[in-house]
Structure 1
């Protein structure tokens, strides 16, 4: 039986052991660890995209909150379908279209961001495909939340029981992949009103509104404990090398064109007009 087949069919505990043994045989690959605190999400996404496209190293980026609330949509997201655009415009909430897929989230100081950027052969036995990356990430975070809540990987979400606390997005290139997560350590209920109920939602959501569908991580463990446990879990698969943003700036070229963009007010006004037209209300 091939190594890939054994990984696919092995029980969970054996799978973890096999992956760690495989990594031990080859020597743990190096992963650079960058810790940020309150970095604006647009700046973080620009950095991630640059490292995915121009670096040949493995990276983990942990950003403990973002300075101001912002809405982040997937690469194909349409504000008229995903947002209550009128309130977004009224309250001047920034809207970002990121370079990865996935759903729409509103993030703020209560959000913890964890990003993994890896070469395709960095994790033994893992294939560079969305389902395989997602399954491995489930193993990684199962170690983080062992004995805490009823943690599961449900479809593409991290949940405690039936309530989501972590949303994921990915992008895969020829030789590399990125998996980044927005963890809801806390959230403001009022911010959920900016988001429409998505037309495409995981089956386990069962039509629940945002506040019935999500939960706060702070009800399960301290913020600092979560971050430290995540670093410890990553160290099972990688030799972690702490670094800083100044070192990245010095080693990476300055010229790079980002596809992650902040939507303009005009784009949002056009989306609002489209929404009004759909419900038969004149914007004049």
Structure 2
């Protein structure tokens, strides 16, 4: 314990919150509350979510990103989150890692996507030593030539899916990944375990903007697309 405290002396404090199976909507609401109302640093690790769910960025348009008829038929929840970025499908097999940090938590880090992704890749680098050739390519985490996380920014035609995507379970267990992430965070922060009161204090008098789209909203989007198509044809 003494050696650990000496190693972490002078590092900024981060609240490490480990969750299991919390719904992605609940997680997004918690993240936004902490982002808007807390002045502390946070790392949230959520091991899986309750059911398969589509999550779109704040400016995402269902008519452009989804096969609306199939989504409605299969009753798949669709969430528009409060942050930007692409559209993803998450489920029980997804591990979520979120950082909410003050600008000065990492000295010299520029507040732009590429520098932030470069810094976050350092947290995972040691975890994959001896397991795979880990790196950051564009805005994706990769093992060799196949990605396993990050931002989806391009579409490659005429390429088999398994040729550029890999599954982490091929390389390590879920618990090893989560524990390795915790160890990586500890290299840059002094870890603190928040209690229920720490979370509850940020839950009142704030209305998060991430929302579950209703079936009617999805139908309306599809109708708008149909009307637009007819108008162009005329």
TM surpasses 0.5: yes
8 A contact 2:17–2:44 mirrored in 1? yes
Q: Tell me the equivalent position of 2:170.
A: 219
Runs of 4+ that moved beyond 6 A: none
**After superposition, where does 1:61-100 map in structure 2 within 5 Å?**
61-100=44-83
Alpha carbons of 1:60 and 1:70: their partners in 2 closer, same or farther (altered >3 Å)?
Answer: same
Alpha carbons of 1:66 and 1:220: their partners in 2 closer, same or farther (altered >3 Å)?
Answer: same
Structure 1 residue matching 2:104: 3-state secondary structure: coil
For the aligned residue pairs, the C-alpha RMSD in angstroms reads 2.2
Deviation of residue 130 (structure 1)?
2.0
Alpha carbons of 1:99 and 1:210: their partners in 2 closer, same or farther (altered >3 Å)?
Answer: farther
- Please, which runs of 5 or more residues in structure 2 have no aligned partner? 1-6
1:236 to 169, 176, 187: 187
Q: Tell me the equivalent position of 1:266.
A: 216
Structure 2 residue matching 1:86: 3-state secondary structure: helix
Deviation of residue 253 (structure 1)?
4.7
Aligned mates of 1:73, 1:250 — CA distance in 2:
27
User: What's the CA shift string for 1:1-41, capped at 9, x where partnerless?
Assistant: xxxxxxxxxxxxxxxxxxxxxxx898100000101000000
Q: Tell me the equivalent position of 1:250.
A: 200
Q: TM-score, normalised by structure 1?
A: 0.72
Structure 2 residue matching 1:66: 3-state secondary structure: coil
Alpha carbons of 1:29 and 1:79: their partners in 2 closer, same or farther (altered >3 Å)?
Answer: same
Aligned mates of 2:110, 2:9 — CA distance in 1:
17
Structure 1 residue matching 2:101: 3-state secondary structure: strand
Higher relative contact order (CA 8 A, sep 6+): 2
- Please, which runs of 5 or more residues in structure 1 have no aligned partner? 1-23, 169-199
Q: TM-score, normalised by structure 2?
A: 0.87
Count of residues in correspondence between the two structures: 223
Alpha carbons of 1:56 and 1:74: their partners in 2 closer, same or farther (altered >3 Å)?
Answer: same
Aligned mates of 1:165, 1:272 — CA distance in 2:
32
Aligned mates of 1:250, 1:267 — CA distance in 2:
31
Q: Tell me the equivalent position of 1:106.
A: 89
